Amino acid sequence: MKYSLYCARCGRDYYDDGRRLRCECGGMLDLRFEPSFRPGMTVGRPYDQWRYREALPVGEDVVTMGEGWTPLLSVAFDGRVLLIKQEQLFPTGSYKDRGAAVMMTHLRELGVKRVVEDSSGNAGCAVAAYAARSGITCDIYVPEDTSPAKTAQIEAYGATLHRVPGTREDTARAALEAATTCVYASHVYSPWFLHGTKTFAYEVAGQLGWTVPDTLVLPAGNGTLLLGAYLGFTELARAGIVSHVPRIMAVQAVTCAPLAAAFADGLDEPVEIHTSHTAAEGIAIAIPARGSQVLAAVRASGGSFVTVSEQEIIASLWDCCRGGWFIEPTSAAVIAGARRYARAAAPGETIVTAFTGHGLKAAAKIAELVESPEGGG
Ligand SMILES: *Cc1c(COP(=O)(O)O)cnc(C)c1O
Ligand SMILES: [Zn+2]
């Protein structure tokens, strides 16, 4: 497999031993890797994300639970149709399995025996599950107030759970410290994770007959799905398989919007913000490590940011549940953003978004939130 690690900011190359997190200059690391994928290659292959294996920077022996190729369904909201990828249907209940499967395959190839990861919950679930599949020991760091279903899931997979008091950033710091003695299987730092989430783009394009939707509406916490989707469409466009990269609209909660604020001010880096509580725990990221890359991707795609209020998130959650879709509050925030965008979009515009996480992960919280659609409960 031909790839190399390099710094996205200064271009410096690095040897990959599974240990290096960032460039000396502080920049995040990406992969130099040219996929050899062509659409004809998928004929006769199983319907999972590995049908694009020539686009994935790992060998043949993969860690998998048959993940991927989630349905792309038309769902009407407010009289407008959204195409919604059913990413809540992954083995661990969120799209994070795309990235975890590719990242853990890579780490097993390197002979890694033990990893740490931090997350607001779902990335921890995915890494713990794929670590269990690959016989790798793992320690997962989560904020103290993470949904109990997620912490139960992490421990059930056999991972050692660490609850960290304080903010999401305190949790990230605790994991970074632990990572000085073993490998940091980070959904934010590892470029392999993004090469996993990029299969979202391959699937969407494939499901649309190798065409491109007008617009993608995706969450921007750390931006792991957004950056993956951008990477995937960029590769497909470079290979001449699709014509261009679709416009990307990035969704943040009003109460935690460091990227939307930077975008509005024309800045290249996330701004420092004061956060307050949001029901969307999965995108409550005050200091996104790949923030400058998210801003650059959204800008290059001709897109922009949408910020959604707590009332909109809760109303969207209520509407989704009453429509038969049991999704977690973070996922409802993305749908709130997509609905806001769709209401003002040109008629006939093709808008693709995602149900990013399953409701069973936050059942108690959902029960509280949907008591009243105004969120008064
Ligand atoms: C991780 C996650 C997100 C947001 O992903 P980022 O990589 O932080 O942008 C959205 N929804 C769910 C359910 C998630 O698990
Ligand atoms: Zn650098």
Q: What is the DSSP string of 219-277?
A: E-SS-HHHHHHHHHHHHHHHTTSSS-PPEEEEEEETTB-HHHHHHHTT-SSPPP-----
* pLDDT tens column, 58-117: 999 999 999 999 999 999 999 999 999 999 999 999 999 999 999 999 999 999 999 999
Q: Are residues 111 and 22 in the same domain?
A: no
The CA 6 to ligand 2 mean position distance, Å, reads: 8
Residue 168's domain comprises 96-191
Which single residue is written with the structure tokens 């200091």?
287
> For ligand 1, what atom is nearest to the CA of residue 122?
15
Compute the distance between CA of residue 35 and CA of residue 56 in angstroms, rounded to an integer. 7
Q: Which residues partner with 137 through β-bridges? A: 114
Any domain includes 212: yes
pLDDT at 372 over 80: no
The CA 14 to ligand 2 mean position distance, Å, reads: 10
Q: Are residues 233 and 319 in the same domain?
A: yes
Q: Which residues partner with 114 through β-bridges? A: 137
Last residue of a domain, one of 157, 191, 225: 191
Q: Are residues 352 and 305 in the same domain?
A: yes
Residue nearest to ligand 1 atom 3, measured at CA:
282
* pLDDT tens column, 119-163: 888 999 999 999 999 999 999 999 998 889 999 999 999 999 999
Q: Are residues 302 and 341 in the same domain?
A: yes
Q: Is 127 in the pocket of ligand 1 (CB under 6 A)?
A: no
Any domain includes 65: no
Q: Are residues 229 and 334 in the same domain?
A: yes
Q: Are residues 28 and 163 in the same domain?
A: no
The CA 56 to ligand 2 mean position distance, Å, reads: 24
Q: Are residues 180 and 288 in the same domain?
A: no
Q: Are residues 332 and 364 in the same domain?
A: yes
Last residue of a domain, one of 191, 226, 245: 191
CATH of the domain at 132: 3.40.50.1100
Q: Are residues 216 and 279 in the same domain?
A: yes
Q: Are residues 185 and 196 in the same domain?
A: no
Q: Are residues 116 and 48 in the same domain?
A: no
DSSP state letter for 144? T
* pLDDT tens column, 321-345: 999 999 999 999 999 999 999 999 9
Q: What is the mean pLDDT of the chain?
A: 95
Q: What letter represents residue 64's amino acid?
A: T
Share of the chain above pLDDT 90, in %: 86
257 touches 280 (CB < 8 A): no
Neighbours of ion ligand 2 (CB under 5 A): 7, 9-10, 12, 23, 25, 27
Last residue of a domain, one of 191, 222, 239: 191
Q: In what order do the strands lie in the sheet with 13-14?
A: 13-14, 4-7, 29-32
| pLDDT value of residue 169 | 87
